[in-house]
Amino acid sequence: MFNLLLVVIGGGIGAGIRHLASMAALCLVGPNYPWGTMAINLVGSFAMGLFIAILARRGGSTEVRLLVATGILGGFTTFSAFSLDFATLWERGATLPAFGYALASVIGAIIALFLGLWLARSLP
């Protein structure tokens, strides 16, 4: 239960930071291109790589990983978790499964979004 609480607290913090970053990008560059989302995904993925490498080197606790990686960075952007999953497969030598995962995740998510839009728009 404590681990779940860590993830929930971290997720709330990460989501709050994502919202603030999105609003800042909207004010700075306007709404014509998703610069904020792209920046969040890139920064979140960089932060995930940095954090995981430091955690591995210093032998960090499961609780710290859950709070920061799963919670804060996961709440900030799930793209960081996706990137870590890809990197894990890649570093294990599972090149084909890594690229399959990337393609299925990105294309599948876009298709799923369009299916959700279609379903919602089809309902009376």
Question: Mean pLDDT, to the nearest integer, of 5-29?
Answer: 96
Asked if 10 contacts 42 with a C-beta cutoff of 8 angstroms, the reply is no
Q: What per-residue confidence (pLDDT) applies to 123? A: 85
Query: Which residue range(s) make up the domain with 50?
Result: 2-77
For residue 26, is it within any domain? yes
For residue 42, is it within any domain? yes
Res 100 pLDDT > 90: yes
Q: What gap in Å lies between CA 63 and CA 69, rounded to an integer?
A: 10
Q: What per-residue confidence (pLDDT) applies to 77? A: 87
| Total structural domains within the chain | 1
For residue 82, is it within any domain? no
pTM of the model: 0.79
Query: What do you get for the CA distance between the two ends of the chain, in Å?
Result: 41
Res 37 pLDDT > 90: no
For residue 29, is it within any domain? yes
41-96 pLDDT tens trace: 899 999 999 999 999 999 889 999 999 999 999 999 878 889 989 999 999 999 99
